[in-house]
Amino acid sequence: MKQRIEVEIYNQTFIVNSEDDEQYVREIASYVDSRMHQLGESAKTAMPLRVAIMTALSIADEYHKALQRENDTQKEIDRLSTLILERIAQSEASDGRGLKEGSLNTFAKVDAVAPVEDTTKKDAH
């Protein structure tokens, strides 16, 4: 159920309509507020719109870098999983135990998991 949550960002009050937990919305708003104050001080600009855009770009950069790290990590997990499964198969084959035809495929099928996109819509007024 959507709820209206009042937050303060960069000395302005906003009403956020969200289905998320109120504490979560406040934490996100607090994060944006602190980033805006941080960038506003370092940019030495009093124009809130400019600070908001710079902050949005900075947060978007963080987000995309995190997605890239997650993607790189998943690729490394897939690579190592394949390597481990190949070594297990080689070890079992050299021991004469061998795997039944097709049994390795049961374990070797590692699908990369695509990042989950946040489809929650939030309205800020």
Structural domain contains residue 58: yes
111 φ/ψ angles, rounded to the nearest 5 degrees: -95, 135
Structural domain contains residue 35: yes
Domain count of the chain?
Answer: 1
Structural domain contains residue 39: yes
pLDDT at residue 101 greater than cutoff 60:
no
Give residue 125's pLDDT: 46
For 16-56, the pLDDT digits (tens) are 999 999 999 999 999 999 999 999 988 877 799 999 999 99
Structural domain contains residue 118: no
Token pair of 92 as six digits: 């079992």
Structural domain contains residue 116: no
In this structure, of 70-74, 96-100, 117-121, the range with the lowest mean pLDDT score is 117-121
In 1-125, beta strands by DSSP E: 3-9, 12-18, 123-124
Domain limits for position 21 = 3-109
Query: pTM score, two decimals?
Result: 0.65
Structural domain contains residue 105: yes
Structural domain contains residue 19: yes
Contact by Cβ (8 Å): 6, 125: no
Give residue 16's pLDDT: 97
